[in-house]
A = this chain, B = another copy of it.
């Protein structure tokens, strides 16, 4: 199979206008006069404003999308040159940080001017937060007087959940970069090498293969799996017989992949190898259950049937999730998420299974939902735990 060429960076004209129009239609339907947005993912989604500068928590940033008309950015002066490269024309700035008034009165004036006594929605549901100091948010709600700041009725989440073709291509490209990095793991993952060095080398491999940056790497290793999947890597060396798992969220042009690969350092015992095959089977069961119109919980159920016979619970809380501009997005593959699956959604399938001695295995693939069902964005692993055959 030929490697796909990397897609173009950025988005064609019209993409952001379509997203904004989509939000505006939903604003009208929900009797909201505008959206107030504060987070990196929201800025990138609606304007293409992409920067690692968000790593600094110092400055708040605000983007307003009125029910009709053009978006307005109320941002620190330092962000103006980059914002001027987007389609946003109404850019209002203040010199931040300002310990007395860090954009709050400029934002309040702007909201009052745009909305008079209207209702503004800000994302307030699961997987969201308001990225500004709480005291400033409380002061803002006082200052804007008759303008009411409320929840966004899930408008932003519902829009972002369904990806455009261009978004899917970016995620698929990120997946391809990670695949190539995983193909290099046998070059540096050997018994005796510290797990921290393996993680460092894997991040280097992701960058060498084309990642812009590597915001997320988790993993584990141990004789029958790993006892948790969120601890930072220690210098404990890999051992012959270990199962090694690396789970990366690398970014290409602002979009994440999120999947893992397991390797056995030398042949695995039968029990662990069998547990791995159950994960592959569960992943495939989830894949086959996916159709537009099914619900997130249906995919959970299909996978859980393979994993537990239908116990209805999951060790790590879920068996997959959305992804895109963020490492994890809506929906969640859990019994309680009845979100309807739609063409264009991108999901991870992420089953986990207990082995023994408090250990577990986790497997993860990325898929996109098309009209006839799911399509893998990763190269899905077949049964049979990959073995790295190196002598000590």
Chain A interface (Cβ < 8 Å from any Cβ of B): 50-53, 55-59, 76-79, 81-82, 85, 95-100, 102, 122-135, 138, 151, 196, 199-201, 203-204, 207-208, 210-218, 227-233, 249, 313, 316-318, 321, 326-328, 332, 334, 336-337
B228 touches A82 (CB 8 A): yes
The answer to whether B50 and A99 have CB atoms under 8 Å apart is no
A100 touches B133 (CB 8 A): no
Output the least CB separation between A300 and chain B (Å): 12
- Known A-B contacts A212-B232, A217-B213, A231-B82; the reply to A337 vs B126 at CB < 8 A is no
Contact assessment for B124 and A128 in the assembled complex, using a CB-CB cutoff below 8 Å: no
Taking a contact as CB atoms under 8 Å apart, the answer to whether B208 and A204 are in contact is: yes
> Which residue of chain B has the shortest Cβ distance to A131 in the bound complex?
B129
In the assembly, what is the distance between CA of A246 and CA of B336, in Å?
A: 46
Known: A52-B216, A52-B230, A97-B332. 16 other contacts (CB 8 A): A51-B231, A52-B217, A52-B232, A56-B328, A57-B327, A59-B317, A76-B317, A78-B317, A97-B126, A97-B334, A99-B332, A125-B135, A126-B133, A200-B212, A203-B207, A207-B207
Shortest distance between the CB of A217 and any CB in chain B (Å): 7
Given the interface pairs A78-B230, A97-B318, A99-B332, the reply to whether A207 lies near B200 with Cβ below 8 Å is yes
Please name all residues of chain B whose beta carbon is closer than 8 Å to the beta carbon of A151 when the two chains form the complex: 134-135
For the complex, what is the distance from the CA of A201 to the CA of B213, rounded to whole Å? Answer: 11
**A79, B230: Cα distance in complex, Å:** 7
Copies of this protein in the complex:
2
A334 to B: closest C-beta gap in Å = 6
**B129 pairs with A317, CB closer than 8 A:** no
Pick from B50, B82, B134, B213: contact of A124, CB under 8 Å: B134
Q: For residue A336, which residues in chain B have a CB less than 8 angstroms away from its CB?
A: 98-100
Contact A214 B212 (CB under 8 A): no
Residues in chain B near residue A134, CB distance under 8 A: 122-124, 128-130, 151
- The complex places the Cα of A242 from the Cα of B368 at a distance, in Å, of 43
- Within the complex, which residue of B128, B208, B214, B232 is in contact with A57, where a contact is CB–CB below 8 Å? B128
A218 to B51, CA, bound (A): 9
For A127, the chain B residues whose CB sits under 8 A away are 57-58, 97, 133
Partner of A249, one of B55, B96, B196, B210: B55
Residues of B within 8 A of A135 (CB): 124-125, 151
With most chain B CB atoms within 10 A of its CB, the pick from A82, A98, A229, A230 is A230
A51: nearest chain-B partner, CB-CB: B230
